[in-house]
A and B are shown apart, each in its own frame.
Chain A
Amino acid sequence: MAKIITYTQAIREAQDIEMARDSRVFICGEDVGVYGTAFGQTVGLMAKYGPMRVLDTPLSETAITSLGVGAAAVGLRPIVVHDFMDFMGVCMDEVLNQASKLAWMVGGQTRLSMVIRTQAGAGINAAAQHSQSLESFFTHMPGMKVVASSNPADMKGLLESAIRDDNPVIVLENKTLLGMEGEVPEGEYLVPIGKANIAREGSDVTIVSYGMMVNRCLAAAETLAAEGIRAEVIDLRSLVPLDKDAIFESIAKTNRLLIAHEAIGFSGYGAEIAALVAEEALDYLDAPIKRVTAPFTHCPFSPPLENAFVPNEDKIIQAVKTLM
């Protein structure tokens, strides 16, 4: 059974289901309780589960994240909420030196099952400190899983899997997708972490993407199909661990690779994919690897500037054509 709900509702539902099935799961963060967060992902959960399990905290990113680390180290399963990924610079030590390392540093005496839910991405004129896609900060940390969803169903399934995972997982939400509707399975629903989804099959070029940008890639693929170019679109869903096989199998068929993401290209996540393919699967390719990313500057406020900053369907189409 499935029903049509929004991305935001999918996030809320995943938390609701997991909190109902495991009393160790709790949510903590600014405005998560009474208010239900500014975007509504936790609306009604405090009323249902009480103030300890949906914990409104002071505005203290560092202590909120550490509260999660300390509680997880002794066996609870926190969902730490940082509304905007940009704010995670404030608690970087807690992610980098505590959460990602603790289980390893103590020789596996404990596990650190902890989710950090946060919103990435530009597109709502929120300017340079509320629009970043900083995933490559976190994909560089051993011990940390990172997932991103392009649609409501995956959002629900990835978040439920993340909550059940015994490792710290950063779950990226995309703020431009919050209102996106889609068919979502009812009840418990798990999307395995580390398994990419072939969002569209094709034989001429592989486009690898994740998060919001997948939807632009799909739109571009539709336009390209009308011109006779059959693009395969891979939605990674999980950045760490990466489903390398899905990429290699696809390029073995298409012999062409485009990587598209919202984050800045230089030292971005796409560089890792390009490097892995160059090292291990270059023979599959008949054309250079191409990336479509944000440019190396800060996300601007003014609508024409922001529109130029975030990669769009046209840029993806043009990039694909250079590979053909």
Chain B
Amino acid sequence: MKSLKDENREEMLELLRMMVRIRAFEEKAARLFLDGKLIGFLHLYSGEEAVATGVCACLREDDYITSTHRGHGHCLAKGADINRMMAELYGKATGYSKDKGGSMHIADISKGIIGANGIVGAGIPIAVGAGFAQKYRETDGVAVTFFGDGASNRGTFHEALNMSAALNLPVIFICENNQFGMSTPFAYHSKNKTISQRAAAYDIPGVTVDGNDPIAVRDAAAIAVARARTGEGPTLIECLTWRHYGHFVGDSAPYKKPEDQTIWREKDPIPNFEKRLMKEGVANAAEIDKIQAETEEEIQAAVEFAEESPYPEIDVMFEDLDFSPADRKE
């Protein structure tokens, strides 16, 4: 594991703060769901925080991301407002989509978040379009797409890799390999040892990194982003990680072996990064506690914001559609 001695202290604390924020958001959401306050489907990102945090640390506001059904972490890391996100989960009018979307459809276009997506693998080629738009406008902006190991077996992944390589687009493919496509282990549905090796088929760089180490993720992403910004085309980064819970809240994940759970829980990105910060003298326990406490307050405020917000008016379901199919014009 890389030493932190040359790292900027503020940046390190921000990485920690973001991971803590994502975790706190997810743990709170899970509790609220189990208490019956949240509805629908909730796919938690707990355990994978280092990926979104490390990647988005390399991005600017004018860079784009596309996300997944497990998208809360990506949205927070790219700068989405925590209050509006919580309101979206509650189905309240102050949510990002006036609450027509919910957990799987959070987007903040002003922050470059083109959206979570309820269709596994659908966001991958949409990022190709966003990356094309960067090139079309002759910016040095990039587009990043997050997706899981399951999605890497969809045709969208392969079409998107090939197309972005062929057109030399500034797209960065971030595969969050949490090792299960819902319940099925990756090894069962692919003969590939790694997902990153598939990059070779499209003649682009591919690398596998420790997805529980925010520094390793950030360093790999920084190289890919620099390549993309300077017109060198796409990169595939596979981040090996683990989701702490089931596919969604309510899935007890009986398909995960207890011993694997134990091993991977020990690799939890947050306590490990905290220990590393303390061991290398970047931060002390009091500073870390302060981040935890401030984050708790933030989450509590978000919950209050959401609970106090009104439900949307019924007519909102017709907003943002310009037209009815067959209105009478009398």
Q: Which residues of A line the B interface, CB within 8 A?
A: 26, 52-53, 55, 57-58, 60, 62-76, 78, 93-94, 97-98, 102-110, 139, 142-143, 145, 166-167, 194, 240-242, 244-245, 248, 276
User: In chain B, what residue has the closest Cβ to A52?
Assistant: B136
B34 at the A interface (CB under 8 A): no
A98 to B115, CA, bound (A): 10
Tell me which residues across on chain A come within 8 A of B330, comparing CB atoms.
Answer: 245
A93 to B123, CA, bound (A): 11
Contact A98 B122 (CB under 8 A): yes
Tell me which residues across on chain B come within 8 A of A65, comparing CB atoms.
Answer: 125
Task: Offer 12 A-B interface pairs, CB within 8 angstroms, sorted by A.
Answer: A60-B162, A62-B156, A63-B160, A74-B109, A74-B114, A75-B133, A78-B129, A102-B115, A106-B96, A106-B105, A110-B109, A241-B325
Partner of A63, one of B95, B105, B128, B133: B128
B4 at the A interface (CB under 8 A): no
Tell me which residues across on chain A come within 8 A of B95, comparing CB atoms.
Answer: 107
A194 to B325, CA, bound (A): 9
A242 to B325, CA, bound (A): 6
Contact B122 A26 (CB under 8 A): no
Tell me which residues across on chain B come within 8 A of A75, comparing CB atoms.
Answer: 133
Tell me which residues across on chain B come within 8 A of A67, comparing CB atoms.
Answer: 125, 128-129, 132, 163
Q: Which residues of B line the A interface, CB within 8 A?
A: 64, 66, 95-101, 105, 107-110, 114-115, 117-119, 122, 124-133, 135-136, 143, 155-156, 159-160, 162-163, 166-167, 319-330
The 8 closest A-B pairs by CB, nearest first: A70-B129, A66-B125, A107-B97, A63-B159, A108-B320, A60-B159, A70-B126, A106-B107
Shortest beta-carbon distance from B320 to chain A in Å: 4
Given the known inter-chain contacts A67-B128, A241-B326, please indicate yes or no for A109 contacting B133, CB distance below 8 A: no
Given the known inter-chain contacts A70-B133, A240-B325, please indicate yes or no for A94 contacting B105, CB distance below 8 A: no
Contact A106 B122 (CB under 8 A): no
A72 to B160, CA, bound (A): 17
Q: Which of A74, A75, A108 has the most CB of B within 10 A?
A: A74
A321 to B68, CA, bound (A): 57
Partner of B101, one of A73, A106, A167: A106
Contact A109 B126 (CB under 8 A): no
Contact B163 A58 (CB under 8 A): yes
Shortest beta-carbon distance from A74 to chain B in Å: 5
Contact B320 A245 (CB under 8 A): no
User: In chain B, what residue has the closest Cβ to A165?
Assistant: B322
Tell me which residues across on chain A come within 8 A of B98, comparing CB atoms.
Answer: 107-108
Shortest beta-carbon distance from A289 to chain B in Å: 16
| Additional A-B contacts beyond A66-B128, A241-B325 (6; CB < 8 A) | A60-B159, A63-B160, A67-B125, A70-B66, A104-B100, A245-B328
Contact B326 A109 (CB under 8 A): no
Contact B114 A63 (CB under 8 A): no
Contact B109 A106 (CB under 8 A): yes
Shortest beta-carbon distance from A300 to chain B in Å: 30
Shortest beta-carbon distance from B174 to chain A in Å: 16
Given the known inter-chain contacts A104-B100, A105-B105, A105-B115, please indicate yes or no for A241 contacting B129, CB distance below 8 A: no
A301 to B29, CA, bound (A): 57
A108 to B319, CA, bound (A): 8
